[in-house]
Structure 1
Amino acid sequence: MTGGDSQTHVTLSERELQVIELVASGLTNQDIAESLEISKRTVDNHISNILNKTKTANRVALVRWALQSGKVCIDDVNCCTLPQLTDEEPEPEPVHEQIEDTQEIEDLG
């Protein structure tokens, strides 16, 4: 896969996405097989199909592709969390800043 080439419009099955997440978390094919309760050979086939679909050469390139295309999120890497909007009022200003503001007003008056 070349630097600017992002195959983000690749259609992957739910199982293939699960496999990518587990590859990205560092699991071996045997570990993935145990985690998903499938055979290692099935995992090998899934990974081969995924590499072909994504046009990536290896597991590292696959994880890079998955992160760049937003297919996986690992330990908050490449995950955009927007601040939550709430109806709460902002936190009050610390007391020492309130005192400084009051002193400035007294000095002006």
Structure 2
Amino acid sequence: MLASQSSQEKEQTSPKEQTSLQEQTSPKEQPSLQEQPSLKEQAPLSDRELQIVELVAAGLTNQEISAQLEISKRTVDNHISNVLNKTATGNRVALVRWALKWGKVCIDDVNCCALPAMGSQQELAS
């Protein structure tokens, strides 16, 4: 009897109301890249979180990071979770890509902006 009532109720609702009901019951889609907050809208990373990002980019595991920073693995897990949320990245690879894009890390002298030595500037001027 409930099934017949539900189909009768659907017939009584307007198409606009049915669409509204479908939107309310359908799973939420992830925001598109255009809808994601910009870097300025995102919460800034703390010094510790930036330190964690550098170690993730260096390829360390959470256990290795915890040993190097002398903090618990659970704390590292929490830091990484917070960083992934703040940067809107879903995994470590995406996080490293984000960090390279925004100049947060330097890997093997790639994406680094080290200033040339004074001697090399003078050589260029000659």
Does structure 1 residue 64 correspond to structure 2 residue 62? no
- 1:28 is matched with which residue? 61
Assess if the C-alpha contact under 8 Å between 1:56 and 1:62 holds in 2.
yes
Q: Distance in 2 between matches of 1:6 and 1:69?
A: 14
Residues 77 and 2 from structure 1, CA distance in 2 versus in 1: closer, same or farther, beyond 3 angstroms?
Answer: farther
Q: Report 1 or 2 for greater relative contact order, CA contacts < 8 Å, sequence distance ≥ 6.
A: 1
User: Which consecutive unaligned segments of at least 5 residues does structure 1 have?
Assistant: 91-109
Shift of 1:77: 1.4
Residues 2 and 18 from structure 1, CA distance in 2 versus in 1: closer, same or farther, beyond 3 angstroms?
Answer: same
Q: Distance in 1 between matches of 2:107 and 2:122?
A: 31
Scaled by the length of structure 1, the TM-score of the pair is 0.70
- 1:80 is matched with which residue? 113
Aligned length: 89
SS in 1 for 2:105: coil
Instruction: Report which of the two has the higher share of helix.
Output: 2
Does structure 1 residue 19 correspond to structure 2 residue 52? yes
1:34-76 CA distance string (max 9 Å, x none): 0000000000000000000000000000000000000111111
Residues 81 and 6 from structure 1, CA distance in 2 versus in 1: closer, same or farther, beyond 3 angstroms?
Answer: farther
**Greater than 6 Å deviation, 4+ residue runs:** none
Scaled by the length of structure 2, the TM-score of the pair is 0.61
